Amino acid sequence: MNTNTPAVDYGTWKMLAWTGPVFFIGFFIMWGLLADNFPPMAASTSAQDMWQHYKDLQTEITIGMSVCMVLGSCYMTFGAAVSRVMRRIEGQEGMLANVEMMGATITYCPIVVACGIWLTCAIQIDTLSPDMAQFCYRLGWMIIDLAYMVTSWQIIAAAIVFLRDKREKKLVPAWVSWWGFVTVASFFPVSLIPFFETGPFAFNGMFNFWIAFPTWYVWIVSMSIFIIKAVGRIEIEDGAAQPKETAVRGGSAVASH
Amino acid sequence: MVAVRGGSTTPRRLPGVEGVWVFVAADMSFFALLFVSFMLGRQDAVEVYEASRQTLDVNFGGINTLILLTSSWLVVLAVEAVKRNELKNVPHLIAGAFLLGAAFKVSKALEYGGKIKAGITMLSNDFYMYYFTLTGIHLLHVFGGNILLIVLWNKARARQFTKDNCVVLECGATYWHMVDLLWIVLFPLLYLLR
Amino acid sequence: MNTAMTRHITTMVWLFLMAATIATTWWLSKDGFSPIVGTVAIFAIAAFKVRLVLLHFMELKHAPLPWRLIFEAWVLLATAAIVGIYLSTTPVAVA
């Protein structure tokens, strides 16, 4: 290995890649199940019923949202791991790796703000009017949903770079990149959520919740899996580790490096 | 795999790359779900949907279908010409497809304009919500397709497509045909179903 | 298949698609047909048109069978769902 270049810290890289699963599993449990956002309360719910929802689930929402505010940051660290894999493909001068990392990092912002609003609504519910509870609930959704474009840039940047991968077996398979384009396409109708309280384009609607979110989720899960694998493959490409089969046969390959 | 019937020995292949087909299949599924959603909404308010439908101008819808079909056809001719290595007319065919795409947008602008002038928006009722959002999402696809056609036109003028190198052209063509195909269903769904 | 024939088929398909569109838009949609007959016929034609675009324009006719079947299934399911829900909807009372 070239001694002039600083050694790559594969351990840290792998750890960052594993924050992807931490994000998507943690979020599904804490945000989706515990805080009862899966499925979400309908946009058309009356102010009184929204207030009651927060009253009934005060503890669950408090715990779920405060954990999510912490866990959400894992989207940033996951994004950093993706960005480094991208850099291997597009080279040091590549810009898209930066766009991906910025996109992942800024995606955390609407998440933390929205969860913070829902958290405060839960802890303060006894002193809030129903109108305020409704305001908080909708405010969180508007922020988290309409920030989709920043995440779109992240996904587009990753898709373009991984499609340009010249390896015979790409680090991230082409279908994941194309699924990224599907995800971005499914995001655009989210711009309609301010206008509808019912129907497919409400924030709890068939399209803007049940298509847009699972599509993104599938992208996060598949991207996480292939990034974890990619770091391992890059380690082997660099000669810093041996392919599993070689390792079994003997250590002679190491000597040649 | 080899086609047995008809004695053809051309190997079966998907035009372009598989990824485009993943995208197209997913996109078409989203639209299919929205078609079902529209039909279920209609079931709950037939009178409103029917009365609103009658305010739509089938001439716009019909002419737009003819425009997209012709645009698609020109793209097929372009792909076939490239495969015969007759490259001279390819840029013209793609330019024609682009101009028809632009004509679709002009027609849509006129149609939307008329509705908005009459005080009708996507908030007027559920029918108009579907009318504006479904045609609007489709229109975004047309915009995307037109940008794609400009890219293809430039590449065709630079003679970058040849018999053995036309994957990009095939990908673009596949997408553009999908835009056409979705309109073939959207048009009767919104304008003709009574 | 020779290329002149391919060209010929493509243009025939296009002409048919245009004719079918004109028939549905300016003829089948008119009041001369009962709504149910008109609508079902219109969607049968639309499905056939979509299938022509898939097979001839998008070249699924020569694609690996699983891919072709996925898209053929889309046509079938989308049409069946639309027509099915249409037929199970109480029509507007003609008054």
Percent of chain C with pLDDT over 70: 93
pLDDT digits (tens, 9 = 90+) for B31-63: 999 999 999 999 999 999 999 999 999 999 999
Q: How much is the pLDDT for A208?
A: 95
Using CA coordinates, name the residue in chain B closest to C22: B62
DSSP C37-54: HHHHHHHHHHHHHHHHII
Question: Do the Cβ atoms of B42 and C54 come within 8 Å?
Answer: no
Higher model confidence: residue A55 or residue C93?
A: A55
The tokens for B124 are 């007027």
Confidence check: pLDDT of C94 > 90: no
pLDDT bucket at A253, cuts 50 / 70 / 90: very low
B7-11, B132-136, B148-152: least confidently modelled range: B7-11
Closest CA to B176 of B37, B9, B65, B24: B24
Taking contacts as CB-CB distances below 8 angstroms, the residues of chain B near C64 are 1, 12-14
pLDDT digits (tens, 9 = 90+) for A58-72: 999 999 999 999 999
Using CA coordinates, name the residue in chain C closest to B85: C3
Question: Do the Cβ atoms of B19 and A174 come within 8 Å?
Answer: yes
Closest CA to B116 of B126, B127, B105, B124: B124
Q: How much is the pLDDT for A4?
A: 61
Minimal Cβ distance to A195: which of B18, B33, B123: B123
CA distance C35 to chain B (A): 6
Confidence check: pLDDT of B4 > 70: no
Estimate to the nearest angstrom the gap between the alpha carbon of C20 and the chain centroid.
Answer: 9
Q: What is the CATH number of the domain that holds B139?
A: 1.20.120.80
A134 in Cβ contact with A47 (< 8 Å):
yes
C64 in Cβ contact with B13 (< 8 Å):
yes
- Determine which helix (DSSP H) or strand (DSSP E) holds A217, and give its type and residue range: helix A212-237
- Model confidence, pTM: 0.90
Inside any domain, residue B4: no
Q: How much is the pLDDT for A245?
A: 62
Inside any domain, residue B11: no
Inside any domain, residue B5: no
Taking contacts as CB-CB distances below 8 angstroms, the residues of chain A near B140 are 188
Q: How much is the pLDDT for A255?
A: 42
**In the beta sheet, which residues pair with residue B162?**
B165
Confidence check: pLDDT of A252 > 60: no
pLDDT bucket at B23, cuts 50 / 70 / 90: very high
Q: How much is the pLDDT for A242?
A: 80
Average pLDDT, stretch B106-129? 95
Distance CA A246, CA B111 (A): 67
CA distance B128 to chain C (A): 18
Taking contacts as CB-CB distances below 8 angstroms, the residues of chain A near B137 are 188-189
Minimal Cβ distance to C81: which of B13, B28, B39: B39
**In the beta sheet, which residues pair with residue B11?**
B2
Q: How much is the pLDDT for A2?
A: 52
Inside any domain, residue B6: no
Q: What is the DSSP letter of C30?
A: S
Inside any domain, residue B2: no
A80 in Cβ contact with A104 (< 8 Å):
yes
Q: How much is the pLDDT for C29?
A: 87
Taking contacts as CB-CB distances below 8 angstroms, the residues of chain C near B62 are 21-22, 24-26
Q: How much is the pLDDT for A158?
A: 98
Closest CA to B166 of B93, B83, B91, B71: B83
Question: Do the Cβ atoms of B30 and A207 come within 8 Å?
Answer: yes
Question: Do the Cβ atoms of B192 and C21 come within 8 Å?
Answer: no
Which sign does the torsion angle of CA B128, B133, B136, B138 carry? negative
Q: How much is the pLDDT for C93?
A: 66
C67 in Cβ contact with B22 (< 8 Å):
no
Percent of chain C with pLDDT over 90: 76
Closest CA to A149 of A238, A212, A201: A212
B33 in Cβ contact with A214 (< 8 Å):
no
Helix and strand numbers, DSSP H then E, in chain A: 11, 0
pLDDT digits (tens, 9 = 90+) for A194-222: 999 999 999 999 999 999 999 999 999 99
A209-218, B11-20, B175-184: least confidently modelled range: B11-20
Percent of chain A with pLDDT over 70: 93
Q: In the predicted model, what is the mean pLDDT of chain B?
A: 93
Inside any domain, residue B182: yes
For the purposes of burial, counting CB atoms within 10 Å of the CB of C66, is it exposed (0-12), middle (13-18) or buried (19 or more)?
Answer: exposed
Q: How much is the pLDDT for A3?
A: 54
pLDDT digits (tens, 9 = 90+) for C6-45: 778 999 999 999 999 999 999 988 888 889 999 999 999 9
Q: What is the DSSP letter of B84?
A: T
3-state secondary structure at position C61: helix
pLDDT digits (tens, 9 = 90+) for B142-177: 999 999 999 999 999 999 999 999 999 999 999 999
Inside any domain, residue B3: no
This model of the complex carries an ipTM of 0.92
CA distance B158 to chain C (A): 24
Q: How much is the pLDDT for A14?
A: 96
Taking contacts as CB-CB distances below 8 angstroms, the residues of chain C near B36 are 81-82, 85
B100, amino acid identity: L
Confidence check: pLDDT of C92 > 80: no
Inside any domain, residue B179: yes
Domain boundaries, position B122:
16-192
C45 in Cβ contact with C24 (< 8 Å):
yes
A51, amino acid identity: W
Distance CA B74, CA A58 (A): 61
Percent of chain B with pLDDT over 70: 95
Query: What total number of domains does chain B contain?
Result: 1
Q: Please indicate if any CB of chain B lies within 8 Å of the CB of A194.
A: no
Q: What is the DSSP letter of B162?
A: B
- Give B120-125 contacts, CB < 8 A, sequence gap 24+: B120/B55, B122/A195, B123/A195, B124/B52, B125/B45, B125/B48, B125/B52
DSSP A19-53: HHHHHHHHHIIIIIIITT-SSPPPTT--HHHHHHH
CA distance C44 to chain B (A): 10
Task: Tell me the CA end-to-end span of chain A in Å, nearest whole number.
Answer: 7
Confidence check: pLDDT of A254 > 50: no
Average pLDDT, stretch A218-247? 89
Distance CA B48, CA B50 (A): 6
Q: How much is the pLDDT for C86?
A: 96
Question: Do the Cβ atoms of C63 and B185 come within 8 Å?
Answer: no
- Determine which helix (DSSP H) or strand (DSSP E) holds A179, and give its type and residue range: helix A174-187
Q: How much is the pLDDT for B7?
A: 46
Q: How much is the pLDDT for A251?
A: 44
Average pLDDT, stretch B3-29? 81
Q: Please indicate if any CB of chain B lies within 8 Å of the CB of A15.
A: no
Q: How much is the pLDDT for C5?
A: 74
Q: How much is the pLDDT for B2?
A: 41
Question: Do the Cβ atoms of B137 and A175 come within 8 Å?
Answer: no
A205, amino acid identity: G
Q: Please indicate if any CB of chain B lies within 8 Å of the CB of A218.
A: no
C45, amino acid identity: I
A132, amino acid identity: M
The tokens for A249 are 């046969």
Confidence check: pLDDT of A257 > 70: no
Distance CA B27, CA A91 (A): 32
Higher model confidence: residue A93 or residue C4?
A: A93
A and C touching (3 or more beta-carbon pairs closer than 8 Å): no
CA distance B39 to chain C (A): 6
Q: How many CB atoms lie within 10 A of CB A234?
A: 18
Closest CA to B170 of B13, B16, B14: B16
Average pLDDT, stretch A32-48? 95
Domain boundaries, chain C: 3-87
